[in-house]
Each structure stands twice: as C-alpha cells, then as structure tokens.
Structure 1
C-alpha cells in the first residue's frame, strides 16, 4: 500500500523551482488580465473616437488580452533559472531550466487564452486568436523567449553565487533589478505607432523589446489620420530583438559562469557541499 508523503517531503517538493514556478505562472496569467485589459485606455487613449481609433483600440486590447501574464512569466522564467542554479550544478540546472521555460510558456498561454476568449467573445464578430497573423507571430516570439530567459537565469545565478561581493549586496540588488524590469518593460509597453526610444535599448535590453513587440503589434498605425496610415512594423523588429538579445544574454552569462573561478559555495547537489553523491553528480 503506498505511503502518504510526510510534511517534510511535501515541503521539499513544493520548494523546487520546477514546481512552484509553474504554480506562480498560472497565477500570473490570471492576475495580469485586468491590467492588460485596460492598458489601452490607461496608457494610450482613454476615449477612442472614430473608426480608426476604435479599430486600434479593439486590436490592441485583443493583443494584450491574449498575451496576459507573458511579460511577468518571462521574468519568472529568469527567476526560476536563478533558483535552479542554487540547487544544482551548472549542466544539470541548464538541462532542467530550458524545458521548464517551455512549460512555463505553455502554462501562461493555457491560463490566458480562456479568459481572453471569454472577454473577446462578448464582442460581435470575434475572430479566433490564431486567425490573426499579427497576434500569432508576436505571441510565438514572446513564448520562444521563455527558455532563453530560464537559461540566462542559470548563468546569472551561478555568477552571483560565485561572487562574494554580489552575494553581500543581494538584498539591495533584488529590488533594484525589479525596479529596472518594471521601468524597462513599461518603456516598451508605452511605444505607439513606431519605436521611439533609444535604438540601442531595443537590442540591449530584452525587457524593452518584449514590451515593444506586444505594444506595436496593435499600435503600428497612426489612428489619428483618416484613413489610418501604417507607420510601424507591427512588432517584427522588436520580436527579433527580443529573441536575439535573450539568446545573447543566455550564451554570455553561461559562458562567464563556466570560465569564472569557482567560489566557496558549491550547489546543494554537489559532493563538495557535504551531501554525498547524488543522481546528477559525477561518479
């Protein structure tokens, strides 16, 4: 007869990044919907008038509804990668992080789509999400970045763990990083018609590119003209910048983690940590 896991075992299971990150991803997809649903009226145009502005409002709200939780989920994938680097050796953490990033992407979409469809179906002549090529392209690009963020998180976590100076400043660095993510993500989300911030930001900061891709997927036409005049590229350049920069950070951070001298805090599953041999330790 199977035994019921005790409380300590359940705590260990729930504390693993592969478990709690999936639960958080599900929560984010639901919690972000009110913010995504009201983004256009709050940040872009609180009173759309005329056919052009009404069409822009419908398209932008549609994009934001179906991408609810995606930007927060990308940050979660990065954090999960960092957490994995604290529990496993580098190669093992990467092996777990990349598929975990894909799982988080699937969970985010699985939670966002039903809510988005309910909201969209209340509008006459609602079109299925995958019949919209712009929405499909930007969504697939955003989701493809999840494994890259998770891999980058592994490299970042190892670099922090091996640096005594960074470890001492961890309590300061975490809120600063969250502030940086908030500011750069909003920088992308408030783009209108075409990208109008510093050009290097789009390619150097993936958070900016991720927000810009979603924003310009619905806001690449000048709705104040009659008829509306397309002026942007519907997020194509931003999506490319997101994937290129996220891949570059994942590669660079992990290469630095490999080449950097090991610090005095081995991961939990390393024999040097005093826990004995484990399943993923070298024989």
Structure 2
C-alpha cells in the first residue's frame, strides 16, 4: 500500500496541472477578496451608525475576507480529486487494473490521501493569501473595540469583542475544514461517473445550486451539502447556533462522500467480477473448440 501511495504522489507532483493549482488558488482568493467586500455589505449593515455598529460590521467584513476563495477552492479540490480517479478510466472500457481486486483498496487509499493532501495545500494557500490581504488593509477592529469596552453603557446592544472574534475563528476553521471533505467527495464522484467532463459538469452545477441554497434558503444548510459560500459564512459567523449548523452540514457532506466512495467501489468490484466470469466463459469456449 505504501508503494502505491508513493507512486500516486509522485505521479501527481510530476503533473504540470498539479503545480497550476497553487497559483490558480491564489488568483481565486484574490478575486474573491474584492467580491467578499460586497458580500459583507449585503449580509451585514451597509450603513453602520455609531462605533458599536461599525465594530459589528467590521467583524462581518473580516469574516468574509478571511474565508475568501474557500468555496472556489473546495470546488477545485473536488474536481482535482475526481480527476485522480477518472484518469484511470481514460481510454478503457472495462475496470482498470488499479481498481480491480485485490489491489483496489491500496489504489483507493492512495487516491484519497493525495486528494486530501492537495486539498490541505489549497486551503493553506487560500488562508495565507486572505490573511495577508486582510492584515494589509487599514481597517482595524482594535480601535473600535477599545471604545466599546471603555464605555459599555453607551453600547448596550453591541456584541462583545469576544463574541466577534469567536465568530471569526469559528467560521475560518470550519471553512478550512470543508476542503478535505470535498476532496473525498470528489474521489467518490470520480468512481461513480468515471469521465472527467461529466464530473466537472456535475460539480459546477452543484456548486451553482449551493450558492442559491446558501443565499436564500439558509435553514436547509443543515441538511444539504454546501460549499463555504458567503451565505454559509454569514450563518456560521452570526448565529449562536451557526457552529452546530455547520457541524451538521459537514457531517452530512462527509457521510455523502463516504457513501459515494463505497457505492463506487462496490459497483467496480461487481463489474470486475462479471468481467472475470465472462473471460472465464470465453476461455472455456475456446478450449472446447
């Protein structure tokens, strides 16, 4: 199994497409950073009045900025993982040797490991770029926090700085945690569809649908696998129950990923068994002649 994993990792690192993922992820984050300023205004207070409202809106802004590129990165991680699997089926009619018994488990573990490691690399790139861009901005929470803390009686309805920072950290960690989950789901998708163009089409369509769900139907986020879009970001940051909603959503997405991998493997094993039986019948027929 170790040899299979090393071979899979080497194959990916020698592929130019793998090295394109890093700059592509950086570009996605840079573009999303500007777009998330608009999202922060849409989901937050576009016209804050007073230091307390400015502080609250800055919390929303920082949260959306720190999660810049997460949704596109998760989609990229899923499609890359699907591509790891579908390349084994390219130009083949039957079950490829990599996924035929008895070596299918080693191949599956290797694909999953490389997909997860790649997703973590993408998450790291998104996190570093978003952090650098956010810290370079002149806006700061500190000045408004000092004013609110120094005069709590003047701001009876203001969220405490502790609540704001807790929401920011919770949202950032959950957003980064989605990357490996979507990578595993991508492996399952590749096992089921076995053609990269089909996997890309399904991934993009589901991505666009999840934008709609996270934007206009937030209560459904508990039950429907969702990328870390602006709507999901706002729910996780703002609601006291946001952490529980995200945890449930991650569990549903993870369960779907495991189910897709399992169904894909079972389907391939059955197909391999039928191919083996058909080959045995053909061999027997030739011998009878």
TM range (shorter): 0.5 to 0.7
- State yes or no: 1:96 paired with 2:122: no
Q: Partner of 1:115 in structure 2?
A: 133
Q: Does 1:206 align with 2:226?
A: yes
- Distance in 1, matches of 2:138 and 2:244, equals 27
Structure ID, larger Rg: 2
Specify every segment of 5 or more residues in structure 2 that has no aligned partner in the other structure, as ranges.
1-12, 89-106, 146-160, 272-289
Q: Aligned equivalents of 2:55 and 2:168: distance in 1? A: 15
The answer to whether residue 211 in structure 2 is matched with residue 185 in structure 1 is: yes
Q: Which structure: greater helix fraction?
A: 2
Confirm or deny that 1:134 pairs with 2:153. no
May I ask how many residue pairs the two structures share in their alignment? 227
Distance 1:90 1:106 in 2: 24
Structure 1 unaligned runs (5+)? 1-11, 162-166, 221-231, 265-283
Please tell me whether the aligned partners of residues 218 and 231 of structure 2 are also in contact (alpha carbons under 8 angstroms). no
Higher relative contact order (Cα pairs below 8 Å, separated by 6+ residues): 2
Using structure 2 for the length normalisation, give the TM-score.
0.66
TM-score (norm 1): 0.67
Call closer, same or farther: CA 1:104–1:94 in 2, change over 3 Å.
same
| Equivalent-residue separation in structure 2 for 1:69 and 1:52 (angstroms) | 28
Q: C-alpha distance in 1, partners of 2:142/2:206? A: 40
CA deviations on 1:106-151 (whole Å, 9 max, x unpaired) are 111011100011125556628899x922211221111112111111
Match of 2:251 among 226, 244, 247: 244
The corresponding residue for 2:30 is 30
Does the 8 A contact of 1:77 with 1:104 survive in 2?
Answer: yes
Cα distance, 1:92 vs structure 2: 2.3
